[in-house]
Structure 1
Amino acid sequence: MELEISSLLSAYRSHTLTPRELLESLFAEIEKAPAAIWVSKTSEGQLDSYLKKLEARDPESLPLYGIPFAIKDNIDCEGFESTAACPAYAYKPSRSAFVVKRLMDFGAIPLGKTNMDQFATGLVGVRSPYGAIPNKYVPEYISGGSSSGSAAALAYGLCSFSLGTDTAGSGRIPAAFNNLVGVKPTRGILSTNGVIPACKSLDCVSIFALNHADARYVLNLATAEDSEDAYSRVAPWNEPNGFAKRLPEDWTFGVPAENELEFFGNSGYKEAFEKAVKVFEKAGGKKITIHFTPFLEAARLLYEGPWVFERYDAVGKFIEEHPEEIHPVTKAIISPKTTPHPSAVFAGFHALQEKKKIAEREFSKVNIILTPTAGTTYKTAEVEANPIQLNSNLGYYTNYMNLLDYSALAIPAGTAKSSDPNVSEFPFGVTLVGKAFDDFMLLDVAEKVSPFFSSKVEFAVCGAHLKGEPLHYQLESANFIEATTTAPEYKMYAFQDGKIPKPAMIFGGTSSFYVEVYALSPAEFGKFVANIPAPLGMGKIKLSSGKLVSGFIGDTSILQKADEGLAKDISILGDWRKYRLSL
């Protein structure tokens, strides 16, 4: 079942699917999936209430009409208990979190509350009384945390997007391990009003999506200032006449120096990251080596500095009053063994500012920073045997972000080879790091590089589907790869098909032609090809680089049309747009 937001909205608006039909199917799948994904699920009564409200509306009237989503159990949703994976802590909120209400007002349907590392303390997804969630791709390995359930709900095909939180990597590590896109937004642009705090000054609501287009769509809808949230910030694109920062044409990306990269002995992850760097260069980015040490030194302050006491401020008293209800690792991290002198708080803030100053100098050299999302992965049993050190390893590339006020986007980046004899490969992901409010610029980068990591079909267009031409709208969901030319082996004819003039390119000439290369999923490509009218078809064409891609070609009947004066040889022009200008 296609659960991408654009696919569902299209199906609803064409009346080939209803939200009620979709939800009936999804709840059947939810029953088959690991029970540990959920803390609580939407009841039949709740679901019927949501659906009746939608059925009274036109599918065109709401941007998230009938889109199913899941909510991490430290984010309030009216009608559900919030437990933060601690049943003794459970309460029923009187209203939904700001972000949840906003998304539901846009038509999204909550399917339930998802499992998590207790009190959002962990990157492993095993610190929960509701159980550890098996990784869909490699079941003996962790799904990542603390937003493990929200990521798994998406990975197992149970919803279209999900909400997590991210203080130290909880919205990125699970994305990497589950082959998902994970948005760690700029602090404050998504309200944390209605979120059980971990570190209130650092917490972010995060978004898990199936692709970067859905991530962009949900982020744009969810972003809004909340007057009741002291840490809420106005995003530049929400200001009058404001706009989001976008990626420049000549963009650069920073990669940590070789001796600062850490893969914890995982050669498959190291090789996968090296391949990812080459992909970013192929997609048009210029690699620049940066010094990563100040970022790492800032990261250490999260658990070695005063911010661990901010976690205690959030739930420390409850932990002391209910010690038997708390996971032992969670208790060890949040409950301090000793209390430092109050001056240590200021020492921590001063140290962070010093590291930030140095980190900013490094960041000024590039548009974005590229790192692995995680340096390795672990079996569930390994994490349970060595919980604190392995968790710390997973935070190597994530812990500094919110301290330094950066934005981040985790994206799938192929697979990593495994040294485990029982596993051939793992999902692998990289993280794009931006400064505050660079969120949409990071999504621009994802749009450029994602086709190189996917199994999408690349194809070239040369006429009415080019940018600015009448049929370009048919490529709305396609990824643009590059603008280039064919090898000098073709002829081009123009002919009229209805009201729209079109080209027919045939093999056997000596001319090159301007083409644009796009990528679609196999299913989308099949639908696209099915609508191609004769005398056009889809075959293999050679680009000037020598690469073969699918592309529009004409059959030999175009030569007869030319003899009859119904088609014109325009080979000398080399570009369909030049012909259009000549009309």
Structure 2
Amino acid sequence: MNIAALHAAYAMGHESPEQVVLAIYSRIEAEGVQPVWISIVPREKALARAKALPAEDKSKLPLYGIPFAVKDNIDVAGMATTAACPAYSYLAAESATVVTLLQQAGAILIGKTNMDQFATGLVGTRTPYGICSSVFDKRYISGGSSAGSAVAVASGLVSFSLGTDTAGSGRVPAMFNNIIGLKPTRGVVSTNGVVPACRTLDCVSVFAETALDAALVLSVAGAYDEKDPYSRAPETGDGASPWAAATSFRFGVPAAATLEFYGDHFNPQLYKTAVEALIALGGTPVEFDLTPFLQVAQLLYRGPWVAERYAAISTFIGAHKDEMDPTVAKIVSGAANYSAVDTFEASYSLETLKRATKPVWNTINMMLLPTAPKTFTIEEIAEKPIERNSILGHYTNFVNLLDLAAVALPAGMRPDGLPFGVSLIGQAFSETALLPIADKLHRNLAKTLGGSNRSLTDAPALAASQPPHGCLLMAVVGAHLSGQPLNWQLTQRGGRLVRTCRTSPQYMFYALKNTTPPKPGLVRIPGFQGPGIEVEVWALPANTVGTFVEGVPQPLSIGTLQLEDGTLVKGFLVEPTGTEGALDITELGGWRRYLQSLK
């Protein structure tokens, strides 16, 4: 049911959106609406939507004919929003911004999915609409709060789904159901039309079978929204990830003393295997102390942020507490124990902890953590609903408080037949850089898609974007090359070498006079057929380019270079006057060969 496979089937005429919709509704009819769904779009309406999609616009609609689901705390016009609490239910007058964007891109909504009530929990059991279980074993929890959204994807009912993620609700269910769970940077996807849990922290998340599908959905859903006061768009250089284009990167692994699996016997080895796989992909592990991150996590449910949950439904809970799930009511009611003073003191603690965690990002590009330490049966959660829920959030609760991005991905199967998962976590706006690495790691650790026996290798891979997010590609030809005297001007700005190649043949190359340190000059001569000049292409964070260019002396300048494969990048050129009296070294094909010729 992955997007690429459906689009291929549509293109070859093997299937149509109407046939796909009919097959989904036949399954729902046979299996029942609950516990996966709270409500579904009437079959006739979904079928009409499929038929109305213009066949000639397939290429213009990135989600043409793709079935999806949304968590039932996300508004859909004309449908009830319950947040898994019947007494809270209301009829939505208009759709959430993200739903509108997806439908405009050609996606077909199937229905609204089950969840932990008011998005309070990581278990998927706090709902009156039936308990979702892992698609691999009905005795085990599906994870929450986005339980039904994860199960709908893992069981092949839809190609992707929307969840929400405040404490890990878009990631923990991904692990327990062997799928991708993307938690974008806060504000990248609009929360307009979403029932808030903690409004300052909430994110709309994406579940999909592959990282490629998640990236495609994000490309549609991630848009600045004036209706959402927390909506954000990255500014120049935000989330710059020059390492994403390099052949090597650094990833953080918790020091052994801060790595916790709560007695689980299988997950430690699977995590070790994931670390080894990421090393094989070019990563260098860097140990770090997870302690301050865990201290941040404690603030979310053991601090005044729980008062935000109360603020979201304060009027309702005052009149309907007895109609709520007892565990949810207990957690949210706990807000009464916190004062304004507590809130400010916790805010001060958070800022102190942010300062403590910041140095870690000077040594790593991303973290690799278990998505959850272990899993539990439905019965075990019932025995200790709050304590065991807290265990599930061990590696997820700090992420939104620290304004980080995360991708949860499958990381192999345990001997007992349950899936394990890991998460790549990066700084704000790094999700587009994390996704291609998550895709490679996914393919190294897993074999099948979701709960099916379909092979992951049959699904297309996700290529890293060029240039990397927040970066500009800069070609250098002389003193800025690796090992040369001005290379520090790139490395100190966070630049990373992408590749070594040559320009197109239309360039002449000169050793300039009276430059310190010695520098060459590159001139494009239309029609000239030379050997092409060796260049290094570097990815440079876009917000550092201005200071880099400011340091370029006459007669050099930054212009546009054409590489041997036709690619256009920025790079060093020389003004025509700079070649007066200069030595033509074109036939040597590069600065290093010229320097060698002087020895």
Shorter-chain TM-score: which interval? Answer: 0.7 to 0.9
Task: Write the distance in 2 (CA, Å) between the matches of 1:36 and 1:226.
Answer: 33
Per-residue deviation at 1:372?
A: 0.2
Alignment of 1:255-274 (within 5 A): 255-274=253-272
Task: Write the distance in 1 (CA, Å) between the matches of 2:264 and 2:99.
Answer: 38
Quote the residue 2:291 is aligned against.
293
Aligned partner letter, 1:283: L
Given the two structures, how large is their TM-score scaled by the length of structure 2? 0.73
Residue of 460, 484, 488 corresponding to 1:477? 460
Per-residue deviation at 1:412?
A: 0.3
Alignment of 1:328-407 (within 5 A): 328-336=326-334, 338-407=336-405
Task: Write the distance in 1 (CA, Å) between the matches of 2:72 and 2:144.
Answer: 13
CA deviations 1:257-313 (Å, max 9, x no partner) are: 111111110010111111111111111110110010010000101112221101100
CA contact (8 A) 2:184 2:203 kept: yes
Task: Write the distance in 1 (CA, Å) between the matches of 2:82 and 2:134.
Answer: 23
Task: Write the distance in 2 (CA, Å) between the matches of 1:12 and 1:238.
Answer: 38
Task: Write the distance in 2 (CA, Å) between the matches of 1:479 and 1:32.
Answer: 35
Alignment of 1:194-233 (within 5 A): 194-233=193-232
Per-residue deviation at 1:339?
A: 3.5
Aligned partner letter, 2:315: K
CA contact (8 A) 1:72 1:163 kept: yes
- SS of 2:141 mapped into structure 1: coil
Per-residue deviation at 1:26?
A: 1.3
CA contact (8 A) 1:236 1:437 kept: no
CA contact (8 A) 1:192 1:229 kept: yes
Per-residue deviation at 1:104?
A: 0.3
Note closer, same or farther for the CA distance 1:337–1:289 as it changes in structure 2 (3 Å cut): closer
- SS of 1:202 mapped into structure 2: coil
Per-residue deviation at 1:155?
A: 0.9
Given the two structures, how large is their TM-score scaled by the length of structure 1? 0.75
Quote the residue 1:450 is aligned against.
442
Residue of 312, 316, 319 corresponding to 1:318? 316
Alignment of 1:269-288 (within 5 A): 269-288=267-286
Task: Write the distance in 1 (CA, Å) between the matches of 2:302 and 2:367.
Answer: 25
Task: Write the distance in 2 (CA, Å) between the matches of 1:216 and 1:111.
Answer: 21
Alignment of 1:474-553 (within 5 A): 477-478=460-461
Question: How many residues end up aligned between the 2 structures?
Answer: 453
CA deviations 1:368-411 (Å, max 9, x no partner) are: 00110000000001101110000000000000000000000000
Note closer, same or farther for the CA distance 1:401–1:22 as it changes in structure 2 (3 Å cut): same
CA deviations 1:202-232 (Å, max 9, x no partner) are: 0000000101111111111111000110000
Quote the residue 2:428 is aligned against.
436
* Identical positions, percent: 45
Quote the residue 2:104 is aligned against.
105
CA contact (8 A) 1:246 1:444 kept: no
CA deviations 1:45-81 (Å, max 9, x no partner) are: 3213312321465322311111000100000111211
Aligned partner letter, 2:340: P
Task: Write the distance in 2 (CA, Å) between the matches of 1:277 and 1:205.
Answer: 28
Per-residue deviation at 1:338?
A: 4.1
Quote the residue 1:50 is aligned against.
49
Runs of at least 5 residues in structure 2 that lack an aligned partner in the other structure: 449-457, 465-599
- SS of 1:140 mapped into structure 2: strand
Alignment of 1:46-195 (within 5 A): 46-55=45-54, 58-195=57-194
- SS of 1:401 mapped into structure 2: helix
Task: Write the distance in 2 (CA, Å) between the matches of 1:394 and 1:443.
Answer: 23
Runs of at least 5 residues in structure 1 that lack an aligned partner in the other structure: 418-423, 457-474, 482-583
Bigger relative CO (Cα 8 Å, ≥ 6 apart):
2
Aligned partner letter, 1:349: S
Task: Write the distance in 2 (CA, Å) between the matches of 1:237 and 1:10.
Answer: 36
Per-residue deviation at 1:29?
A: 1.8
Per-residue deviation at 1:15?
A: 2.4
CA contact (8 A) 2:243 2:365 kept: no
Note closer, same or farther for the CA distance 1:60–1:92 as it changes in structure 2 (3 Å cut): same
CA deviations 1:475-514 (Å, max 9, x no partner) are: 9935789xxxxxxxxxxxxxxxxxxxxxxxxxxxxxxxxx
Quote the residue 1:462 is aligned against.
none
- SS of 2:48 mapped into structure 1: helix
Greater alpha carbon shift after TM alignment, 276-285 vs 335-344:
335-344
Quote the residue 1:554 is aligned against.
none
Greater alpha carbon shift after TM alignment, 131-140 vs 163-172:
131-140
RMSD: 2.1
- SS of 1:267 mapped into structure 2: coil
Aligned partner letter, 2:279: E
CA contact (8 A) 2:307 2:335 kept: no
Quote the residue 2:584 is aligned against.
none
CA contact (8 A) 1:69 1:109 kept: yes
CA deviations 1:77-130 (Å, max 9, x no partner) are: 112110000011111111110001000000000100000000000000000000
CA contact (8 A) 2:182 2:207 kept: yes
Matched, 1:426 2:425: no
Note closer, same or farther for the CA distance 1:316–1:410 as it changes in structure 2 (3 Å cut): same
CA contact (8 A) 2:407 2:423 kept: yes
Task: Write the distance in 1 (CA, Å) between the matches of 2:301 and 2:395.
Answer: 14
Task: Write the distance in 2 (CA, Å) between the matches of 1:45 and 1:238.
Answer: 47
Note closer, same or farther for the CA distance 1:107–1:188 as it changes in structure 2 (3 Å cut): same
Task: Write the distance in 1 (CA, Å) between the matches of 2:197 and 2:165.
Answer: 9
CA contact (8 A) 2:267 2:420 kept: yes
CA deviations 1:4-60 (Å, max 9, x no partner) are: 111111222232211001111111122344620000011023213312321465322
CA contact (8 A) 1:77 1:95 kept: yes
CA contact (8 A) 1:244 1:437 kept: no
Task: Write the distance in 1 (CA, Å) between the matches of 2:463 and 2:95.
Answer: 39
